Amino acid sequence: MKKIILIFTASILLISCGGNENTATTDALIETKNVANIKAKRDLLQAEISKIDAALATLDVKTDQEALVSVLTVKDTVFNHYLEVQGNVNTKENILVQPEMPGTLVSLNVIAGQRVGKGQVLGRTDDGGMSQQLASIENQYALAKTTFERQKNLWDQKIGSEIQFLQAQTQMIGLQKSVLQMKAQLSKTLIKAPFTGVIDAVFVERGQVVAPSPQGLMRIVNLSNMYVSTEVPETYIGKLKVGSLVNVSLTSLGKTYQGRVRQVGNNINPANRSFGIEVSVPNPGNLLRPNQVAKLQIIDYTKKNAIVVPTNTIQSNGDGTKFVYIANNVNGKTAVAKKVVVTTGQSSENVTEILSGVKTTDVIVTEGINTIQEGTKLNF
């Protein structure tokens, strides 16, 4: 500032001494009406003015100015960095129920929206006369069993031949196996729930001839074992482990759930250099649905007692050096701006980790940064 005053004083002296001469010279030049000389004089004066403007621009004219800013006191905190990817909600228990044995659907015991238990009979197809065959074989088995028991009693008393005993035993065992086989075949006419869940839709009606098809008989869904599947770039393969915490956001519900990685793929997809993961998600209220779109925030870096600042407070010099302004010499609501070079770490959710240059209790400028520089007086 002293330099500016000296320059200004010297300029006044020069003007007072030579001002009349310059004015007279300019007036004389104008009286000559020589356009070329007048333009040359004008260009010379404009060049001098440009030099003066450039000199003023380089001077530290802001040091005595004041700026209204907002500030924030730096505190250490837990810093988490997230990998954000998109995934699909799914469940392992979401299937189309198929009949094991084709035939006429003679009974249908459920409707859409009904909750069913594992093993519950949902319907039955016509057995094609197998029940009558089973009854006949059961009668034969009952007779063979009685015959064997009598032959055994005689054989125990050493009465009769061994071959008669063995024949009765063999016939009984053979018919017993036939009964079991027929019952197994007959059980295939029963359509049972493979797990506990809700009947989401029924696609057939009683009396309809059914067989395994792409449509199936009905859809059963269990919403208590939900997960989100997605693919992650292979660069994160060493950072994701089973049990890692994940924030699962669903825009359609306006809710965020906390899940955990339950499975990490062992194969890298060569097409996009990624691997698959599954994240288990709680489903209170059964609001989650298969095929919903979810946004995953996977914590891949955590640091306790980290120093973080708003990302927009960090600026860069022409050489790439990063810096922030801190409020120095704080006195009540006033201070002086100080430029501090910083080393940054990772960024997440509009904040950036500071590795060096700023410490706790420092007061950094958060708003009004573009109006200040080193030494500017601050009001906040």
Q: Where are the beta strands (DSSP E) in 92-236?
A: 94-97, 103-108, 115-116, 121-125, 190-192, 197-202, 209-210, 218-221, 226-233
Q: Where are the beta strands (DSSP E) in 27-120?
A: 66-68, 70-73, 76-91, 94-97, 103-108, 115-116
Can you give the pLDDT at residue 24? 53
Compute the distance between CA of residue 223 and CA of residue 95 in angstroms, rounded to an integer. Answer: 12
Can you give the pLDDT at residue 351? 92
Residue that the structure tokens 């988490």 belong to: 80
Strand, coil or helix: 251: coil
End-to-end CA distance of the chain: 25
Can you give the pLDDT at residue 227? 94
Compute the distance between CA of residue 308 and CA of residue 347 in angstroms, rounded to an integer. Answer: 9
One digit per residue, pLDDT tens: the chain, 380 residues? 434 443 444 444 344 444 444 555 777 878 887 878 888 888 888 888 877 766 655 554 444 578 899 999 999 999 988 888 999 999 989 999 999 999 999 999 999 999 999 999 999 999 988 989 999 999 999 999 999 999 989 888 888 888 888 999 999 999 999 999 999 999 999 999 999 999 999 999 999 999 999 999 999 999 888 999 999 999 888 888 898 889 999 988 999 999 999 999 999 999 999 999 999 999 888 889 899 999 999 888 888 899 999 999 999 988 889 999 999 999 989 999 999 999 999 888 889 999 999 999 999 999 999 889 888 999 98
